[in-house]
């Protein structure tokens, strides 16, 4: 099981889909060729009985047929889909949604997903529901989405169970119902869906749809953490630090924060910064705190941005830089963090015009940067 719940079809990249299709085609083409039709070829002459041994002649290598093009894959799939082949209909929907062998067309994607879904394919039912939920290729319709999710969920499709739990949690397409939400999350969680396990843990931690239990919350967070879910790892670290549902342990807290931080989780990176800045749970280390606050701040964690401003203003673990301090205070302040607004206002009373202009320039550059690349899931 991978570290996080990924839709096997919905979130597959076009490149990944192309590789999958071509690899499958290569396997098919590599199968043994059919027997020739017609008279049999003459048998090879027997080897000589005596005399010098003849030099061995290497057998000719079989020609490797060319890989099919995306257009050929599309045409072959269309032919099968038109005969009612359910898997071909599902694949054709994927081709249209992701633009494989044909221009992207979510309307056609939904039509083919619907055909496969009507034949009972649970993956197609999930994908049809997602397009309804998003209003992609079809008018947005949460009620229709729920109907498709339910069909697949009743067939034990874990993705559908998770999505149905979300619908009940948010009141999307159905009345909000915490007990129903938990029931569907739990079914997906029992199939080792890490995100669903996190949701079950949250329900126990907050007493949502069930009696509040820190012990049960810790149990579910640990199950998801063992599946390398960074949110679960972060929350488990917090529980160990606070002694909620588990015996307090700074070592365990530090371990789980480090594990999640390495996976790019901003809150875990922030928590590491706090530990090393305060010296509570590990030896105080301003440089290490600076490193982790920066990691989280780059992901727009507001408190990390505020704390980074403090370190630059006070010169903790880094040379004082009021322009950089202004930049980080300002970034957090414009998103509504009151402490950052107050720190920025205090800094304005003593910052030079040159540093202020530079800090404003750096803030603008940060806002205009390209979005960070998502962290690749761990296999």
pLDDT value of residue 370: 75
Q: State both tokens at 266.
A: 């901003």
Going from the C-alpha of 373 to that of each of 264, 299, 369, 370, the distances in angstroms are 11, 10, 12, 9
Q: Do 219 and 228 meet the contact criterion of CB atoms below 8 Å apart?
A: no
Cα(22)–Cα(30) distance, integer angstroms: 12
From 287, 290, 239, 286, select the one nearest 260 (Cα to Cα).
239
Cα(78)–Cα(91) distance, integer angstroms: 9
pLDDT value of residue 51: 46
Domains in the chain with CATH codes:
69-191 (1.25.40.10), 271-374 (1.25.40.10)
Summarize pLDDT for 17-41 with one digit per residue, the tens.
443 433 343 333 233 333 333 444 4
From 255, 304, 261, select the one nearest 282 (Cα to Cα).
255
pLDDT above 80 (res 11): no
From 160, 161, 181, select the one nearest 171 (Cα to Cα).
181
Cα(5)–Cα(1) distance, integer angstroms: 9
- Grouping H, G, I as helix, E, B as strand and the rest as coil, residue 231 is helix
Q: Which residue has the tokens 């049809």?
A: 128
Query: pTM for the whole thing?
Result: 0.75
pLDDT above 80 (res 184): yes
Residue 65: band (very low, low, confident or very high) from pLDDT cuts 50, 70, 90: low
From 107, 104, 159, select the one nearest 132 (Cα to Cα).
107
How many CB atoms are located within 10 Å of the residue 7 CB? Answer: 14
pLDDT above 80 (res 195): yes
pLDDT value of residue 317: 84
Cα(122)–Cα(102) distance, integer angstroms: 25
Listing DSSP states for 322-360 in one string gives: HHHHHHHHHHHHTTT-HHHHHHHHHHHTT--HHHHHHHH
Q: State both tokens at 239.
A: 């529980």
Q: Do 226 and 194 meet the contact criterion of CB atoms below 8 Å apart?
A: no
Cα(218)–Cα(140) distance, integer angstroms: 37
User: Which of 68-72, 191-195, 200-204 bottoms out in mean pLDDT, i.e. has the lowest?
Assistant: 68-72
Chain mean pLDDT for the chain: 85
């Amino acid at each position: 099981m991978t570290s996080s719940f990924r839709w096997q079809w919905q979130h597959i990249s076009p490149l990944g889909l192309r590789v999958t299709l071509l690899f499958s085609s290569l396997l098919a083409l590599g199968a043994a060729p059919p027997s020739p039709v017609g008279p049999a070829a003459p048998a090879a002459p027997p080897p000589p009985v005596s005399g010098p041994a003849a030099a061995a002649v290497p057998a000719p290598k079989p020609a490797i047929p060319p890989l099919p093009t995306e257009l050929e894959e599309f045409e072959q799939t269309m032919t099968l889909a038109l005969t009612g082949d359910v898997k071909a209909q599902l694949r054709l929907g994927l081709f249209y949604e992701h633009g494989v062998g044909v221009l992207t067309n979510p309307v056609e994607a939904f039509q083919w997903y619907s055909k496969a879904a009507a034949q009972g394919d649970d993956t197609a039912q999930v994908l049809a529901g997602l397009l309804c939920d998003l209003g992609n290729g079809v008018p947005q319709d949460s009620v229709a989405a729920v109907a498709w999710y339910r069909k697949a969920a009743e067939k034990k499709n874990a993705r559908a169970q998770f999505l149905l739990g979300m619908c009940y949690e948010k009141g999307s397409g159905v009345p909000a119902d915490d007990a129903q939400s938990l029931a569907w999350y739990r079914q997906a969680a029992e199939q080792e869906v890490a995100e669903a396990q996190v949701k079950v843990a949250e329900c126990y931690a907050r007493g949502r749809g069930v009696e509040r239990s820190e012990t049960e919350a810790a149990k579910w967070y640990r199950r998801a953490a063992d599946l390398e879910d960074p949110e679960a790892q972060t929350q488990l670290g917090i529980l160990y630090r606070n002694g909620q549902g588990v015996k307090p342990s700074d070592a365990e807290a530090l371990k789980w924060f480090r594990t999640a931080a390495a996976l790019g989780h901003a809150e875990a990176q922030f928590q590491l910064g706090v530990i090393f800045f305060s010296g509570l749970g590990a030896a105080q280390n301003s440089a290490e705190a600076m490193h982790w606050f920066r990691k989280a701040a780059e992901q727009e964690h507001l408190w990390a941005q505020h704390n980074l401003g403090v370190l630059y203003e006070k010169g903790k673990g880094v040379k004082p830089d009021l322009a950089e301090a202004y930049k980080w205070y300002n970034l957090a302040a414009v998103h509504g963090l009151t402490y950052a607004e107050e720190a920025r206002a205090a800094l304005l009373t003593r910052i030079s015009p040159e540093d202020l202009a530079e800090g404003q320039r750096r803030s603008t550059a940060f806002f205009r940067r390209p979005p960070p690349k998502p962290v690749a899931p761990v296999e």
